[in-house]
Amino acid sequence: MISLLVSLFCILPNKYEITCESRSIEIEPQQIESQDYLPLKPIAEVLNINYVLDHTTQRLYLSGNGHKIVLIPGVSTIMHDNFYQNIPFSTHLISGDVYFPAVAVITTIGGAFEKLVFIKEIKEVPPIHKISIMTRADSTVLKFSWDKSLDFDVQFYPGRAVVEIDGKYTTKSQVKPIGAITSAEITPFKTYTKLELAMKDVNSVLERNDEVVFYYKITKQVKLIVIDPGHGGIDPGAIGKKGLYEKDVNLDLAKMLRDFIEDSLGIRVVLTREKDAYLSLKARTNIANLNGADIFVSIHCNASAQSSRERGFETYFLSEARTDAARAVEARENASLKFDGIEPSDDIISFILHDLAQSEYLQESNRLAEFVQTSAENVLDIPARRVNQAGFYVLRGAFMPAILIESAFISNREEEQLLRNKSFKKRLAYCMFQGLKDFIADYQRRLNN
């Protein structure tokens, strides 16, 4: 019988908190035949009653407050003040203590001694690994890191917000306030985590998945543009028939475009790479996000495996590829993923296309692409093809208007030759600059209306 009992109970991760008067204790239950049982010795202490277990007679005596209970482990009848009383399940003797059915502790034990007892089941609280604050173009974002999505609640007041998360903050580190958030204080409780934030200029708040976005309205200005020269290092990109590397052209164009922007618009530019170095696609977008860039431009050269006659300039934004040609460009540019050990696949494409970040900026990215393409029509001697869309990994997760430019066809003999020419490259960069400039004027006008 004993061995059967041993095999039937197991330790649960949950605990019970038992409170009586000002005393409180946490105890672990034992589960026997699907019922939770609680040990009477600590309960007697919390209730402030006497506990005597007579090992020879196998009887437990509880007494105090003018009352008495006698019980025998394994029996579902107890004696309360000389009256017999049934309890829903029999008690059990486990490692030197008598375990009582949890469901009957309040009524039977608390009732017998005229004590008000509270029992609360403490569920295991899932951990929050990290809470951080980051800035984006028009918002400051509170970001949570956890294993599984937890519920949270945001109360937003003028100048401050209180966030309560149903998880336990496991690290000791405080959160560094930046952007619109001027102070952040974390208070970890047993069953939840409270975060008190002070902020300035925030006028709306958005809760989603693992973040809270605080939007602020100030005069919006494009202050920073991140330009990404595609490929680099071990990843050459497309290679021309005469041996010109796409990665080298991209870098030249990016530097020329930077100079145009900085000299004429006074807007700061950050390049994702300044030299011939490899950088993952994700790292490129991260540079834009972490710097709070207002616009992201990835620069590439086109190549066609089908026809060496293909030529011209085209601009892409992130969305589903509509044509076979766009799909081919998408496949070629996403192939850089393999340098990170990721095999580009249909799954990856659908993952790219479900990007929440870019979907927010879809219209603006489309507009930006239109402006650049219009500029190509006005400025360039090579054909301005059209605005296209495709699922480019490098644009994924960018929280700002973002485009990918295919400047000219390195697979076309004539354009490969042109791409070696400094003044042609300058013309290309100027074309991009002009498109950006027109977009920025239009964008700022709309943002501030």
Q: Applying CB under 5 A, which residues contact Zn ion?
A: 230, 237, 300, 333
In the bound state with Zn ion, the residue whose beta carbon lies nearer, of 184 and 394, is: 394
In the bound state with Zn ion, the residue whose beta carbon lies nearer, of 29 and 230, is: 230
Q: Which residue is nearest to Zn ion (CB)?
A: 300
- 370-375 long-range contacts (CB < 8 A, ≥24 apart) are 371/435, 371/436, 371/438, 371/439, 371/442, 372/315, 372/403, 372/405, 372/431, 372/432, 372/435, 372/436, 372/439, 373/313, 373/314, 373/315, 373/435, 374/435, 374/438, 375/431, 375/432, 375/434, 375/435, 375/438
CB of 147 to Zn ion, least distance (A): 36
In the bound state with Zn ion, the residue whose beta carbon lies nearer, of 270 and 331, is: 331
Token pair listed for 297: 């431009």
Helices (H), 62-132: 111-112
CB of 251 to Zn ion, least distance (A): 12
CB of 276 to Zn ion, least distance (A): 14
In the bound state with Zn ion, the residue whose beta carbon lies nearer, of 246 and 355, is: 246
For helices 324-334 and 346-353, angle between their N-to-C axes, nearest 10 degrees: 100
| Residue 236 burial (CB count, 10 A) | 14
CB of 404 to Zn ion, least distance (A): 8
CB of 242 to Zn ion, least distance (A): 18
Neighbouring residues of 173: CB distance < 8 A, sequence distance ≥ 6: none
Look at the chain and count its residues.
449
CB of 230 to Zn ion, least distance (A): 4
Q: Which residue has the tokens 């490098």?
A: 394
| Sign of the torsion formed by the C-alpha atoms of 431, 433, 437 and 440 | positive
DSSP, collapsed to helix, strand or coil, labels residue 302 as: strand
In the bound state with Zn ion, the residue whose beta carbon lies nearer, of 248 and 333, is: 333
CB of 246 to Zn ion, least distance (A): 5
In the bound state with Zn ion, the residue whose beta carbon lies nearer, of 18 and 394, is: 394
In the bound state with Zn ion, the residue whose beta carbon lies nearer, of 39 and 237, is: 237
